[in-house]
Amino acid sequence: MNILISAYSCEPGISSKLGINWHIIREIANYHQVWVLTRLGKSWEAIETELARNPIPNLHFVSVTLPFWQDIQRQQTKEMQLHYYLWQIQVYFVARRLHQKIGFDLIHDVSFGNYFNPSFLSLMPLPLVWGPIGSGESAPASFWQDFSLRAKIYEIVRSTKGWLKERDPFLHLTTKRSAVIRATTKNIAERLYKLGASQVQVIPESGLSEEDIARLAKYEIPDGQTIKFISIGRLQHWQGFHLGLRAFAQANLPNAEYWIVGEGEELKRLQILAQDLQVAHKVKFWGKLSREKTLDLLRDCHVLVHPRLHSSGGWECIEAMAAGRPVLCLNLGEPAIQVTNETGIKIPANEPYQAVRDLAAAMLQLAKEPELKIKMGQAGQARVSQHYSWKVMGKQLNQLYTGIVHQANTQKSL
């Protein structure tokens, strides 16, 4: 089939939304002729370099640039949202002309990843697959008591922004006209149904290559009496690392260490908290590290502690599972979908004290039951191979495309 994909950001070799879009596009090109609408810039140069090195005959890129606004290259700018919205309008007109020339069977908009950003490609007379999309989630209100004033303002603004953008009539149009929407969490799926969606799939956003899965599967469980817990991510309030520290202190394990990898505005607060809890001598803050060095630390640890309070993406859990490490997480967001009761322990997020108590109990359990760590680790590796390989995810997406186009053709013939 001829597939049109809209990707505002797309770049090979990147562990972010850019990399996710690249993997989706590359896998679909194994099955169909694919045209990709994207922007010029550094990502475009990286794409050209990759295709020159590893040609993909079925893959065609078309640049789309706003005629009145030079493209924004940085991903963290205040103008990005407005630029993206206007770019989507431009994409519609480019797609319409391209469709007259080529004749597409289906459109897939993988662009920005936020459920509140509409896709103007829904105006095209073709089946539309929209997503994976997420974002818009907020930390449970009961956990705000631990937040700084700045963090509380962040959560209020985040919630208000989602509420306002849900009033966009084009968002309602997109949800109603999409053949299938791919959401990264159950919470986002519920919001999309309220906005008029007819079919929403809750699917993972992130995946791993066959090479990464094979490499991580070789990680052996570290020897020694000391059990090492690790948390990975930006040091921001919604990561919940303060809950992990309190649980670690409450578990009071004699031979244990807690490693935290990342940088961010919460660093000082976390360091002070570790001192107040009298566990600073057992806690090590590694700062921001490359992916390679981070995975090296994961190899030297036993358990991933991932108490994130809202999340609609990320690789931490699936990388830990691929490495055969159990995951302790809150039963929220995408981690709640990625992790099962066989691959880790999911903690209810009712109240901070309850979450800390249950996290501490889980730490104690895994420290005292080495066989359980091994069993969960093996289950995690099997789950990643079965569900989080880009190859498997590409096959599933191809099946989705085929079913949607078949249904559309059947309806036309009636």
Rounded CA gap, 348 and 199, in Å?
28
Give the range among 147-156, 307-316, 317-326, 386-395 with minimum mean pLDDT. 307-316
Q: What is the pLDDT of residues 228-277, one digit of tens each?
A: 999 999 999 999 999 999 999 999 999 999 999 999 999 999 999 999 99
Q: φ, ψ for residue 278 (rounded to 5)?
A: 65, 40
Domains and CATH numbers, the chain: 2-206+389-413 (3.40.50.2000), 210-387 (3.40.50.2000)
Give tens-digit pLDDT for 19-49: 888 899 999 999 999 999 998 777 888 888 8
Instruction: Determine contact, residues 140/191, Cβ cutoff 8 Å.
Output: no
Better-scored residue on pLDDT, 123 or 11:
123
Mean pLDDT of 167-185: 93
End-to-end CA distance of the chain, in Å? 22
SS3 label, residue 327: strand
Task: Count Cα atoms within 13 angstroms, Cβ side, for 187.
Answer: 19
Nearest residue to 63 (alpha-carbon basis) of 14, 6, 119, 111 = 6
**What is the rounded distance in angstroms from the CA atom of residue 21 to the CA atom of residue 23?**
5
**Average pLDDT score over residue span 180-193:** 91
List C-alpha distances in Å: 251 to 11, 80, 201, 369. Answer: 43, 44, 38, 14
CA distance 43 to 60: 15
Position 71 scores a pLDDT of 59
- 324's CB contacts (< 8 A; 6+ apart) are 216, 217, 219, 221, 374, 377, 378, 380, 381
pLDDT at 413 over 80: no
Q: What pTM value is reported for the model?
A: 0.89
Tokens, residue 377: 């680790």
Please give the Cα distance from 364 to 248 (Å, whole number): 9
Distance separating alpha carbons of residues 276 and 74, to the nearest angstrom: 39
Contact at 8 Å (CB) between 121 and 6? yes
Give CA–CA dist 29/404, Å, rounded: 17
**C-alpha to C-alpha distance for 108 and 404, rounded to whole angstroms:** 12
Residues 62-114: tens digit of each pLDDT: 988 887 776 555 555 567 778 888 889 999 999 999 999 999 999 999 977 78
Query: Among 65-69, 130-134, 329-333, where is mean pLDDT lowest?
Result: 65-69
What the block records as the tokens of 22 is 């690249």
**How many H helices and E strands in the chain?**
15, 13
Taking residue 378's Cβ as centre, other Cβ atoms within 10 Å add up to 14
Residue whose C-alpha is closest to residue 401's, from 159, 105, 198, 112: 105
The answer to whether residues 5 and 108 touch, using CB atoms and an 8 Å cutoff, is yes
Residues above pLDDT 90, as percent of the chain: 67
Give the whole-angstrom CA distance, residue 332 versus residue 202. Answer: 14
Q: Which residue has the higher pLDDT, 289 or 116?
A: 289
Contacts of 220 (CB under 8 A, 6+ apart): none
Contacts of 6 (CB under 8 A, 6+ apart): 36, 37, 38, 88, 91, 95, 107, 108, 109, 110, 111, 119, 121
